[in-house]
Amino acid sequence: MSTATELTTAPPLPDPADQMLAGYWEAVARGELVVQECGSCAAPQWPPRAGCGTCGLSDLGWRRVAGTGTLFTWTTVHHTTIEYYKPALPFALAAVELDDAPVRMLGRVRGVHPDQLSIDQPLTVVYESVAPGVTLPVWEPR
Amino acid sequence: MSTPLRACIAGAALTEFSRDSGRSAERLAIEVATAACLDAGVDPTVIDGIVPFPHGPTAEDLMAGLGLPDVRFSGVPHLGGASSVAGLRLAAMAVTAGQADYVLCFVARNGRSSSRVEQRVATLLPGQRYRRNLENPQGMNSPAQWYSLICRRHMHEFGTTRAHLAEVALTMRAHAQLNEHAQMYGRPMTMEQYMSGRPIADPYWLYDCCLETDGAGAVLITSADRAKDGPHRPVHLAGMAEGHADSADDIVNRRDIFNTGLTKAAPRAFGMAGVTPSDVDAAMIYDCFTFEVIQQLEEAGFCPRGGGGDLVADGGIALGGRLPVNPHGGLLSEGHIAGMNHVVEAVTQLRGDAGRRQVPDAEVVAVTGWGDMGDGALAVLTV
């Protein structure tokens, strides 16, 4: 069991051993953003899955993307059950439409008050350390 | 072509709804199963098929607790909140195929005092890999957050407003004043009170969110032949379908974010029933949040996409309006037992037993379910 102290010092952390997402987290650790890409039909997809949603069973790899996009939609969180995020309220969670791949990524927006956001606003990825050795991609206005 | 399904709801029951039932969910299940059989005029031991909700008491809990001698069919739909409606189809398929004679579909839970929503979604939702690794670390972990993403986009594309959301909340609350069983009976709400709620996941504020409830509901499904000998007018399961959205495990990566399971299911269900949305006398819409009513009215075909705001405005979904929705008060104001109360209300309306909230001459009622990352189901019930 986690203690209350541990709960407040980090958000829920991703599992670094998850086989399907390992390549993504390795890229994030390098300061790069990637989406999954099919080795057969070259279709990008997100989130990463065990098969290609376009052509089925095939080899799947990773495609580096620029880490820029536009705000497709967002929610402004005013209530959270996650202790780590309580001091950050209110904050925005956004679906970001990437500029160079037809996928949307969910992530927190920082560097702007949620009330100042607008749909289609340009955003860029930045990397935020949330625990020793754990970095998350989050989004800022550009 | 699919085989027509021939099955009826012969019995329906609810327990009381509360914030603390004071007994186990398994006990609630046994009580409501017994009550549904009593309502159908049969002994509980006739149950030979069980469709439980994917979270909560199991088929085995009923077998053991009721002493059922030979349950020969069980199946669990996995569509989150749409499971109550999707389960009707499973039961009807079993009855039509002769695989069971009496199938009990039930939901029982202490959703307020025990298994609250954030605990349920942490095990129930599909795509747990994405929830745990990609979303929870970013601070996203509740249905209000996921679903409000769709609402915000709808507001942008179609001009839906908070006044439209308020219309849904206030209509459900007004309906609950006609239903002594509702948790919000005797607690009317004004626009001022609605607006004074605190924000939860904007555009969802407190009164855009449904209740959390301790309680249970069940229906007993059997053949039309068996149902005709019961104490009540049989309610026919005329059309039923389930649907799953593209990008079924991720809510924002469907190119058309509004094209969800219900979009696919509704034409199938209406087609099976041989009716159109304009034939529907009342609709029970899965109102986990206010906007989900607007979206499902559109995707079920009661109005064009983008027309949901106009439909709910000016009393359009109130009793006496263009399409009465949730005369019982819905999940927002009657109580939240994952939509089984919507199924029971449909039965009550079709029997003509709804008292002050009766929709006059109700003969065709549609019930929707919404769940998980956009799963949907629709059932058309008739007398």
Question: How many angstroms away from the CA of B78 is the closest CA of chain A?
Answer: 20
A96: distance to nearest CA of chain B, Å? 9
Average pLDDT along chain B: 96
Q: What is the pLDDT of residues B130-178, one digit of tens each?
A: 999 999 999 999 999 999 999 999 999 999 999 999 999 999 999 999 9
pLDDT of residue B1 exceeding 90, the answer is no
Nearest CA in chain B to A110: B138
Q: How far is it, in rounded angstroms, from Cα B46 to Cα B234?
A: 18
Pairwise CB contact (< 8 Å): B202 & A91: no
Q: Is A7 on the interface with B (CB under 8 A)?
A: no
Among B252, B256, B258, the strongest candidate for a mutation testing the A interface, having the largest count of A CBs within 10 A, is B252
Residues of A in Cβ contact (< 8 Å) with B150: 73
Over residues A35-58, the pLDDT tens digits come to 999 999 999 999 999 999 999 888
**pLDDT (average), residues B50-65:** 97
- Cβ contact B138–A106 (<8 Å): yes
φ, ψ dihedrals at B23, nearest 5°: -150, 170
Give the one of B132, B249, B257 whose C-beta lies nearest to A12's C-beta: B132
Chain B residues in contact with A74 (beta carbon < 8 A): 149, 152
* pLDDT over 90 at A66, yes or no: yes
For residue B142, the chain A residues in CB contact (below 8 A) are 81
Cβ pair B13, B36 in contact under 8 A: yes
Express as a percent the part of chain B with pLDDT over 70: 99
* B300, burial (CB in 10 Å: exposed 0-12, middle 13-18, buried 19+): buried
Contact B129 A114 (CB under 8 A): no
> What are the sequence ranges of the domains in chain A?
4-141
Quick check: A95 and B252 CB within 8 A? yes
Give contacts of A139 with chain B, Cβ < 8 Å: none
With an 8 Å Cβ cutoff, is A79 touching chain B? yes
Q: Torsions phi, psi of A65, nearest 5? A: -120, 165
Q: Is A8 on the interface with B (CB under 8 A)?
A: no
Q: Cβ of A75 and B152 within 8 Å?
A: yes
The CATH code belonging to domain B8-114+211-382 is 3.40.47.10
What pLDDT digit, counting tens, does each position of A102-130 carry? 999 999 999 999 999 999 999 999 999 99
Concatenating the DSSP letter of every residue in B146-166 gives HHHHHHHHHHHHH---HHHHH
Is there a contact between A68 and A142 (Cβ–Cβ < 8 Å)? yes
| pLDDT band at A16; cut points 50, 70, 90 | confident
- Residue in chain B closest to A74 (alpha carbons) equals B149
Q: Please answer yes or no on whether A79 and B198 come within 8 Å at the CB atom.
A: yes
Q: Where are the domains of chain B?
A: 8-114+211-382
CA B141-B143-B149 angle, to 5 degrees, is 95
Closest residue of A to B129, CA-based? A18
Give mean pLDDT, residues B344-367: 98
**Closest-CA residue in chain A for B153?**
A73
Rounded-to-integer distance, Cα B12 and Cα B349, Å: 12
Nearest Cα to Cα of residue A71 among A3, A139, A126, A20: A139
**Across the strands, what pairs with B240?**
B379
Distances (CA, A) of A115 to A110, B122, B370: 12, 29, 29
And the tokens for B84?
A: 């109550």
- Inter-chain Cβ pairs, chain A and chain B, closer than 8 A: 110
